[in-house]
Amino acid sequence: MGIARRVKRLTRHSIDNGRQRVGAAVDTLRRGENSVVWAPRAGLRLGNLLYLWLHAHSRSAIGPSVAVLETRGMQEWWEHFPALRQLSVPREEVRFSDRREWDAAWLYQRFGVDFDRLELNAFIRDVFAERVADIVEERLVINVRRGDFYATEFEAKHGFDVAAYTSAALAHFSGDSGALVVSDDADWCRNHLGDQLRSRFRDVEYATPDPLQNLLALASARRLIGANSTFSYWGAYIADAIHTDVQIVMPRFHARMAHGTDAHQLDPRWTALDGFH
């Protein structure tokens, strides 16, 4: 490494450390009752955001108010589920005295550690129940996550054998006359899963990629094959909380991370399939 580059890196490291020390010192002065989950300005999609809102909802139910800092991508979901707006705070409304918190390691996503089933169901009841309670999908719903998990730098972290997993998951279901495939890449599903599904089901439909409608489709399912995606987990949480006699199969694999590959978000009542990665 050249001298100039080394000096630049050391300077940046010193600045970052200095900012952290200043931030820690300032945080000792924040003594207000309310707290703000200090989410990054961008980069989080619905699945991850919902865990932050769940955390705020659960904490606020037992003590002083906790809200999630407004970030890019929240507003469209406020329109569909207004209760989420009440759990959010615009940056300009954050007071100096408000405490800051952030879980960079787990993002408040560990089932049974960061939240329990009672807290999860209470959140779902307050946010989603009115919208999804009367929608029931009797076909087997199959969620396939592709998108930037594949053919990008994220594949090394998230990619796994979707076709083999889907085949194994199908073996856990019987008596289904139809299937609804919900994916962000319906063409890939047709090309790589179509023959297998057509040999099993009289009717196979591929949902149009649309975040809201896709979430509602997962949430309406009584039988669901999920993906290694927080979006998929939330569809399953909602379906499990709203409907009775629900059967859910998920891959145990979530991503290749420092703490391992298993999905710590899974409800232990679900069937988790090992392998395929």
Report CA 114 to chain centroid distance, whole Å: 14
| Residue 236 half-sphere exposure toward CB, CA atoms < 13 A | 28
In sequence order, which ranges of 81-116 are alpha helices (DSSP H)? none
- Please count the structural domains in the chain: 2
The answer on 159 and 63 residing in a single domain is no
Token pair, residue 25, equals 């010192």
What domain range includes position 246? 136-273
For residue 222, which amino acid is it?
Answer: R
pLDDT digits (tens, 9 = 90+) for 210-257: 999 999 999 999 999 999 999 999 999 999 999 989 999 999 999 999
> Is 83 part of a structural domain of the chain?
yes
> Is 7 part of a structural domain of the chain?
no
pLDDT digits (tens, 9 = 90+) for 144-169: 999 999 989 999 999 999 999 999 99
For residue 120, which amino acid is it?
Answer: L
Using the structure block, give the residue that is written with the tokens 């619905």. 46
The answer on 151 and 60 residing in a single domain is no
The answer on 217 and 144 residing in a single domain is yes
The answer on 161 and 265 residing in a single domain is yes
By CB atoms closer than 10 A (0-12, 13-18, 19+), residue 76 is exposed
> Is 23 part of a structural domain of the chain?
no
DSSP reduced 3-state for 222:
coil
